[in-house]
Structure 1
Amino acid sequence: MHTIFALLLTLLCTVSATSIEDVVVLTIGGGDSNGHARFLRSAKVYNYDIRMLGDKTGPVEDSVKLQLVKEAVAKIAKEHSDKLVLYVDGPDAVLSAGPLRVVEELTRDREGPGGPLKVLLSADGVCWPDKALAKKFPKPARGRRFFDSGAFVGQAGVLERLFKEASGKETSLQELFTNLYLQGAIRKKYNLRVDHTNTLFQNLHGATGEIEV
């Protein structure tokens, strides 16, 4: 499923992690498309540390994306396990806020920033690729119920351990996160959440009525 993401821009608050070096962005090389160039420009504006994965000359299969991301996360975790990894499927995304915004939302609880770190997935209004699993997803108090693995963020060390909980038979990031998220014990253990109300990620797929330009 092709989606468009925007990292939402809001007022920054003071949080414990305060350096742009605290966040690294992973994205998949997808050729020299206008969309990919736009994504890289937006990342440069906010001084993100961008790491391009895979072949830069063309599309990358989902199974290859999965392996590239797992390997990149493991490498970062070995160097700095507490570094925040923001994965964005670059060809159809833009970043509209800086690294501190990412840190703020990852530590936000009901009382504001400063809570426990979590792994956060972008929300989606559609359950895919297996619609039959829709009824197994927890219902949020408000917002979108499902997620899209085209954008997620979490600490490198936590993500590495989370990935190791998977069966190893998954063929895409979406399948991997679906299998993990539907296990209540895993959600609790890793504080795995969906950005139901689009506080950090805005998935524009099917959301034309939610966006003001």
Structure 2
Amino acid sequence: MTNPLSSLDTLNTLNTINTLDKLVRGFADPVHDAQASFRVLLDVLARPGTIGSIDVALDDDVHRQWPAAAFAAMLTLVDFSTPVWLQAPDAALAQAIRFHTGAPLADESDEAAFAYIVDGENMPPLDAFSLGTPESPQNSATLLIRAAALEGGRPLTLSGPGIRSSVGIAPAGIADTFWHERASLAAHAPCGIDCYLVCGRSVIGIPRTTRVEVNSCT
């Protein structure tokens, strides 16, 4: 007589195997690739407006589905203590985040330590995310915003710490309202939002201390 529990265990095992077969692979060399990615992410945040490139090896599925810089940043920066919010439902990305980092997926944007924004033209208002508190400003959210391109879009002038005088960037695919809302957060310092603009392997860091002026397109 067939043991129903054994049959159920076998089915669960097969389902797990099938799920793992579809799992997007993470870093080929987790320690060294995370270190290399972290150096780039730290450098672009320390030098706002600089375009960095995360050149670690990643699975072809990553490049087909997401900006490699965004995926590498999540593998590098998030862990079991940093909930991640996805603007758009993405089962493959959610599974990869849980498996490779142990990070929980947040149901609401204000619960997230990190948020992946796939549509910068239609993202939630910034007050939908955690800004931290004066006592704990580090508890604010960090946004990974997918840009259509990091050049050729809306001209912006950046100034502030880490910038000699000013620097210009022109990311495409990000609504002007984002920049205006971000400027209004200056009154709440040291609270605020840090963000990375990502496109392919390329990334620009814009910390909360950076002032951004929206220029007219010419």
Higher relative contact order (CA 8 A, sep 6+): 1
**TM (normalized to structure 1)?**
0.34
Structure number with greater Rg is: 2
Structure that is richer in strand per residue: 1
